Every structure is written in structure tokens, then in C-alpha cells.
Amino acid sequence: MCIKFNNGLYTVVEFLHVKPGKGPAFVRTKLRNVQTGRVIDNTFSVGVKLEEVRIEKRQFQYLYKDDMGYNFMNNETYEQVSIPKEIINGVDFLKDGETCDVTIHADTDTILFADVPTKVVLEVTYTEPGLKGDTATNTLKPATVETGATVRVPLFINTGDKIKVNTTDGSYVERA
């Protein structure tokens, strides 16, 4: 759910309805600012009116990057739009042809933010070779993937391997 609060747009991350034994009920919330991504805690008393904002998620395909930003194509209308780097979540793991979810303000038709898929498969372009017999420990080494980002991977991963990466925190998930 997306609401208008303190002259900004916020999505509700978490909420808890509290009904204490003494006094009126209230709702404890965690709200994420759509523009900045900052999470704030807020408590609403019962009866507070909030303006709900209508948002839509649409599928866009990443095409290329230029000085204007990252260029995407709407999969339904085939129109192209440029999205700045600041509002794309997981931009370091974005590769050509990747389909992303773009959240759009339905009333003004403006792009609020874009999300790269949670897990993507990328090829390792460079990493130090692992030594034979080093698989027993849980040690990680840096590896550069095809998008240019650096991911910490186990010692048995070599150059040319395909790995699955979690785009929310940039961590190694598994070999693909």
C-alpha cells in the first residue's frame, strides 16, 4: 500500500495494530519513502485519515545505458523511457535484456522506482583461482561479474562460472 504522508509518498513495509488495556488503540508502522528509500517508524492513532495513492507495477525491459540514464522499454506499449540510476534498486546487477518491475504513480503517470529481479544469474568475468583442497572452510573471495559489480564468492568458483546473485544485498546464492 502506498500513502501520502508528510508531503511525500511512502509504502507500508510493516504494521502492527496495538490495543492496550488502558487507553485508545493505535497502529505502529514502518514506512519506506519512495523517493529516498529511507525507512521511518511512525505511530498512527485510530481514526487518522490517510490519503491512499494508486500505484501500478509494469514490466519494462532494460535496453542500454547513456548519459541520460538507463533506457527501458515498456513491454506492453513498446515506448522507451529513461530512468535515473538513483531510483533503480539493484542497478549494479542489471544486464541487457533483463525484465524489471517498474512502479508508476497511476494518477500522474510518473515513474517512482524500478526493481531488478531479486535473484539474477551472472557470469564471473574475473576471480583469483582457488587452491585445491580449500573447499572445507567458509572463506570468500572477491569476483567480478559481467555487469562490472564485485561479489564475494566461495573459493571453488572460477572465471567463466555462472552464479546466482541476490540483488538486494549483493550476496552469492549458489552456482547456476
Q: What is the pLDDT of residues 78-133, one digit of tens each?
A: 999 999 888 888 889 998 899 999 989 888 888 888 889 999 999 999 998 876 66
Q: Which residues pair with 114 in a beta bridge?
A: 88, 102
Q: Identify each DSSP E strand in 128-166 by its residue range.
A: 140-145, 150-154, 162-166
Tell me what the mean pLDDT of segment 21-28 comes to: 91
Terminal Cα-to-Cα distance of the chain (whole angstroms): 34
Share of the chain above pLDDT 70, in %: 95
Burial bucket for residue 128 (CB in 10 Å: 0-12, 13-18, 19+): exposed
Phi/psi of residue 125, nearest 5 degrees: -90, -30
Whole-angstrom CA distances from 142 to 95, 134, 138, 174, 175 are 20, 15, 14, 15, 15
pLDDT > 90? residue 7: no
Instruction: Classify residue 120 by burial, with Cβ atoms within 10 Å: 0-12, 13-18, 19+.
Output: buried
How many Cβ atoms from other residues are within 10 Å of residue 163's Cβ?
21
pLDDT digits (tens, 9 = 90+) for 140-166: 889 999 999 999 998 888 889 999 999
Q: How far apart are CA 56 and CA 109, in angstroms?
A: 9
Largest interatomic CA distance in the chain: 66
**pTM, full prediction:** 0.74
Q: Note the pLDDT of residue 135.
A: 61
* 38: its cell numbers: 529511507
Supply the mean pLDDT for the chain: 88
